[in-house]
Amino acid sequence: MKINCKRDRLIGILLAAMLLLGADAYAQRMRVQGHVTNQQGKSIPNVNIIDPVTNERIEISDEDGRYSVLAERHGSLKYTCVGYEDKTVKVGGKQIINVVLKDAVIELDEVIVISKVKDKVVPEPTDIEIKGNYFHLKTRVPVPKEMFTSNRRLVLQPSIYDVTQKKRLLLRPVVFDGGTYNTTQRRMYDYNIEQDPLHEYIQVKTTSSRNGDIIAYHDSIYIEYLQHDYRADVHLAMENYRAIIYRDSFSIARGTVNPLRFLEYKFSAFNLTDKKYLPKPVMQLRDTKGEVNLTFVVGKADLDDKNPQNQVELNRLNQELHAIEMNPEASLKSFHITGVASPDGSYELNLRLAKLRTDKALDRILSQLDPETRKLLEVKSDASVASWKEVAELLRKDSGQDTADEITELIKRYGEKNYQLNRALKSKPFYKEVAAVYLPKLRKVQYTYGYSIFRSLTDEEIMQLYKKDPKELTRFEYYRMIATAKTPDEKERYCKEALELYDNFTYAANELAVLNIQKDTPDSKILEPFVSKSAPVELLSNQAIALLHEGKYTKADSVLTLLPEGVVADDLQAIVQAMAGYYDDAFEKVAATSPFNEVIMLLAMKKNKEAWEKASQLDTGSAREYYVKAIAANRMEKVGEALMYIEKALELDPSLLETARVDGDIIDLLPEEQKIKNDNTTKE
């Protein structure tokens, strides 16, 4: 009878043990707990913990791979599980024993048998069929009558093994109980069969047959990386009430049936067209300056009314200052005024005159401003006297080179700010012309006013700010940087930086996705956070293209189903539907793209006769075309033609051998030496 050590029965078991074995014998037993994991550190549920002396199962690990048993202090425990190598561990007085089980090594035609049996359970070989991202596994498992009796349980665990990543993916198990075994299990669990870890998979044998039973199996599993190399394995175990009496492992399929791997398509990326996804301009606070020049009457602080430019300048100044006052986005900050006198006469008197002109002009201008504005305004005033060097420069601009040179020589002789220089100049014939034409130009008041205003930056200012500190750029300013980038690499850098600052920046994300599609390196991670029913058509279309490139066909189809009917490009919609396994919906549009694609679709739909007829008409002579012809011929059992076509395909493109080795439609056409890879990837 199988012992089931459950906590709610622990006291009863302890009492019974003491009565039967005596106190001394009981003292040799101890509680052992632990965790069973695989070599990757993942928990293994349903591991049998067996007493090696009696060969009886005393416990099963729970769904987290943990167990708790009473064991002989100096005895051993044996751990067995379908798909893993058995392991026996000495207790040695240890209360905690964590166990790591190795994957069972599986090779074709190799069987591991624990108990000698006359017949074997051998699953039928099959193919792994791909539809979208789902692997479909169909097989039948004949169970000989002589092998399976009413007091046994057969556990069948199919799995898909990713040879590339060395990772196993379990499918739904089958648990086949004999009638007597199932009744015993129910009694053991107090007729609560849900306590059996395998209860949801149990099938009870209720019929009899002279030739045994056949278990039909069909299940599917989602596969993320279709470009990897896969095989299908089946692990078998048969047990009675006391122990596992039979174990077998088989590889029932190597390679996948997937003609759509050759479907031809190419899509251009989609830029956003809806302006609502473009960021709106954001005003930034910037300092700006303005400047005004006024001229004055000779020797006086009054404005020269005969000069019409004075009124023009004053009007412009008043308008600009008033506009700044009225603009809620702007604020006057400073007003700086400088009065300048001409150099003729006494320097001290000229400087005093310049100061007087400055004060009068300042009062006149500021009187136009609002008193509150004047309170906040920083006002500065200066006075200065122009030099005779400036007179010489004005003369040179007017082609008065000789006069300018003569003035320069006098300056060198007497020096600036010297009354003798003035007397010497006044004695010269050119003085009257200079006094009438050039000195008035130097009698002026200059105004510089500074103000802060919220405004959009120019592209040049944006670039300057970017060089100073990119983190100060607004979303709109990054948009301008991306839109005006000179090279794809520059644009890509701006997009990535923008997304680091603004993780919900739809425009930047879509532009980055477009760049990757254009480089033929789509990355679905870029747009994944933006996928929603309200996302723009272009963004979802780009995401579908990226998912297609990565072989995530089911996800690509799910993305496009978020959009209203009729808004997705027909060719993209059709290809996604085809790759996701909706052949009937996609056939007409995909077949119209090319005769080659029509053959591929017919093969995917298993319309083999029609596919062979269409394939026979292909005449481009490409390696891929010969390869597809080989598939069509092989399905029609035209082995001679299939061999001829695959030889031509491999001759034109030797790299197709890698595909042929994992192609369920072709692998049987290859010579044995071509089926084996140099890296021995047929083994785990």
Residue 204 has pLDDT above 80, yes or no: yes
- As a whole number of angstroms, the distance between CA 76 and CA 136 comes to 42
Residue 447 has pLDDT above 50, yes or no: yes
Q: What are phi and psi of 160, to 5 degrees?
A: -105, 125
- As a whole number of angstroms, the distance between CA 546 and CA 210 comes to 56
For the chain, what percent of residues have pLDDT higher than 70? 87
User: Lowest mean pLDDT: which of 23-27, 43-47, 191-195?
Assistant: 23-27
How confident is the model over 537-556, as pLDDT tens digits?
999 999 999 999 999 999 99
Report CA-CA distances (Å) from 111 to 215, 248, 249, 367.
Answer: 20, 5, 6, 106
How confident is the model over 562-598, as pLDDT tens digits?
999 889 999 999 999 999 999 999 999 999 999 999 9
Q: Taking Cα atoms as reference points, which of 127, 126, 130, 128 lies closest to residue 263?
A: 130
What letter represents residue 572's amino acid?
Answer: L
Task: Using DSSP bridges, classify how beta strands 174-177 and 256-257 pair: parallel, antiparallel or unpaired.
Answer: unpaired
pLDDT range class, residue 199, cuts 50, 70, 90: confident
Q: What is the torsion angle, in degrees rounded to the nearest 10, for the CA atoms of residue 528, residue 530, residue 536 and residue 537?
A: 10
Q: Is there a contact between 300 and 345 (Cβ–Cβ < 8 Å)?
A: no
Domains of the chain: 7-101 (2.60.40.1120), 128-257 (2.60.40), 265-282+456-593 (1.25.40), 297-442 (3.30.1330), 595-684 (1.25.40)
> So what's the pLDDT on residue 180?
86
pTM over 0.75: no
Neighbours of 399 (CB within 10 A): 9
DSSP secondary structure letters along 17-63? HHHHHHHHHHHTEEEEEEEEEETTS-B--SPEEEETTTTEEEEE--T
Q: Taking Cα atoms as reference points, which of 465, 444, 447, 454 lies closest to residue 289?
A: 447
User: Which residue bears the tokens 């995401």?
Assistant: 543
> So what's the pLDDT on residue 26?
43
Largest CA distance in the chain: 144
Mean pLDDT of all residues in 243-269: 85
How confident is the model over 35-59, as pLDDT tens digits?
999 888 888 887 889 989 888 888 8
Terminal-residue alpha carbon distance, the chain: 38
22 or 438, which is more confident = 438
> So what's the pLDDT on residue 329?
66
- As a whole number of angstroms, the distance between CA 557 and CA 573 comes to 8
Mean pLDDT of all residues in 226-246: 81
Residue 412 has pLDDT above 60, yes or no: yes
Mean pLDDT of all residues in 198-216: 77
Task: Report how far Cα 99 is from the mean position of its chain's Cα atoms.
Answer: 37
Q: Taking Cα atoms as reference points, which of 307, 439, 287, 310 lies closest to residue 364?
A: 310
Q: How many CA atoms lie within 13 A of 460 on its CB side?
A: 0
Q: Taking Cα atoms as reference points, which of 616, 655, 617, 647 lies closest to residue 632?
A: 616
Report CA-CA distances (Å) from 13 to 9, 20, 59, 70, 623.
Answer: 6, 11, 14, 10, 71
What is the pLDDT of the chain when averaged over all its residues? 83
567 or 111, which is more confident = 567
pLDDT range class, residue 292, cuts 50, 70, 90: low
Q: Taking Cα atoms as reference points, which of 183, 187, 188 lies closest to residue 152?
A: 183
Q: Is there a contact between 263 and 108 (Cβ–Cβ < 8 Å)?
A: no
Mean pLDDT of all residues in 201-212: 75
Residue 600 has pLDDT above 70, yes or no: yes
Q: Taking Cα atoms as reference points, which of 337, 356, 336, 344 lies closest to residue 296?
A: 356
